[in-house]
Structure 1
């Protein structure tokens, strides 16, 4: 994996963990997540317009972005539900770990990606570390619903990662990213307005800074990942960005005072080792 791409994905992981932590701080407020998608899209919209090819019509762009827009809407919905029923140190690692494993398997069968032994070992080590982080302690029995939602979130991550890897080979990542976020926000709207109207009002009235954090953080972070998809295997990119799990766990321990255990320490060590192996692949 090219060193500059590796650093690029690590940086994206830090910002990814930050906006996820913001979402957790508002208990997965649906309004914050929904408005955040619009805000992030609008921030990047001028850059997307400047890079849009004259040969690409809005209808063509909509068709290209629709599959990933649907998957991202599912992802955000499941993530919000998972944060309602589980601690960030439980939900976040399970969701991301499922995404890593699912991406590697699907990329092999559907995209024909070949992994080196070192790279494959790194991905397995990262997944093992994520499991140690997420499944240690007593929270597992107490948050079964949160775990189910986290697994569904991971499945959505694997799905949109593969779709996006193919798409950025056809269209500029900025144009594609803004398109997918706008479509995701539109598809997310009925659920947000119908099921959680009070949260939507509360977000707009009292949580504007979290809207900005989640919106700019999620869109900006994923644009970096889309550019990385152009230059590296989707399996490796998906694995390296899980450095965010370490950051998320650290924020949970330091800020939220969640319990630190030996198993979680081993989990962090395994993820770091896995990152080294993937970088060497």
Structure 2
């Protein structure tokens, strides 16, 4: 029996909360790159524990797995760089908010997976709300490069969303496909930093192991649920619904990271909620 629509959408909303949480852990870290690598390393260990019990992905999905690995490594490095130069309440909405619109455009133009008019209206409304959250809303200068890097990462996010949405379907084993991503990504990221910062990485993990464990579990649960949902619903719709993590991110950035929540960001959150309702009610 296929899961109900309510179950699928509810699971994606829960995954959005986990996604915002691990991003906040990186933003709040003193060394954002090592924090990102620590989270990727824990996710790698979880994947190594789970993979022996799961079937191997079908060979048709392996090229997508390789492409995703490259995009995921670039994504994690960009996340660390963005949070060095921009507030989470700005960088996170922009990089996460632009990606669903790119996914929807590609789905409409190149994939036979386009949402209907009402669902597409929900996607566009969600994107508008998230981008509104990303407006500055005050006269204080930003650090240079934050928005540009966030927009660049939006392209990367759209890329791996489309790649993994297709790869998970071809794999015939979405859980296994997801864990292989985490296993390979963690190994590559750790391997990239070991030659130059091995002692720093060990020291950072000893001091911040709990954040790494929480973040690693959060990212595995978040992305695993999203890929599972993409096997049951159009990629563009799931990608947009997952961006409700912005609501959680805005709350976290204000309460725990003490970032300023401007009227534009609050208005954007309201627009985003309207978009989610439109998306949920779409036939």
Q: TM-score, normalised by structure 2?
A: 0.90
Q: Write the mapping of 1:137-148 to structure 2, written as runs, cut at 5 A.
A: 137-138=137-138, 141-148=141-148
How far has the Cα of 1:138 moved from its partner?
3.6
The structure-2 alpha-carbon separation of the partners of 1:130 and 1:99, relative to structure 1 and needing over 3 Å to count, comes to: same
2:44–2:186 Cα contact (<8 Å) kept: no
3-state secondary structure, aligned to 1:257 = coil
Task: Note the alpha carbon deviations across 1:119-167, whole angstroms, 9 max, x for none.
Answer: 1111111111111111132478413311111112111110001111111
Larger mean Cα displacement after TM superposition, 269-278 or 38-47: 38-47
Cα distance between partner residues in 1 of 2:140 and 2:106:
27
1:97-176 superposed matches below 5 A: 97-138=97-138, 141-171=141-171, 172-176=173-177
User: 1:257 — aligned with what?
Assistant: 258
Quote the Cα distance in structure 2 between the aligned partners of 1:65 and 1:170. 11
> 1:188 matched to which residue of 2?
189
How many residues align? The count is: 278
**CA positional deviation for 1:193:** 3.5
Question: Hey, what's the Cα distance between the residues in 1 that align with 2:186 and 2:139?
Answer: 32
Gaps of 5+ in 1: none
What TM-score results when the alignment is normalised by the length of structure 1? 0.91
Q: Distance in 2 between matches of 1:130 and 1:217?
A: 22
Matched, 1:242 2:243: yes
List structure 1 segments (4+ residues) > 4 angstroms apart after TM superposition.
60-64, 194-199
- The answer for the alignment partner of 2:27 in structure 1 is 24
Cα deviation for residue 46 of structure 1 reads: 3.5
| CA gap 1:2/1:180 in 2 versus in 1, 3 angstroms | same
Match of 1:8 in 2: 11
Cα offsets for 1:85-114 (capped at 9, x unmatched): 001101100110121111111222232222
Please tell me whether the aligned partners of residues 27 and 83 of structure 1 are also in contact (alpha carbons under 8 angstroms).
no
1:143 is paired with a residue whose SS is coil
Residues 64 and 167 of structure 1 are in contact (CA less than 8 Å); yes or no, is this contact kept in structure 2? yes
Does the 8 Å CA contact 2:61/2:167 hold for their aligned counterparts?
no
Distance (whole Å) between structure 2 residues aligned to residue 190 and residue 153 of structure 1: 22
Q: CA RMSD in A?
A: 2.2
C-alpha distance 109-49 of structure 1, shift in aligned 2 (>3 A): farther
How far the C-alpha of 1:203 sits from its partner, in A, is 1.9
Deviation at 1:6, TM superposition (A): 0.9
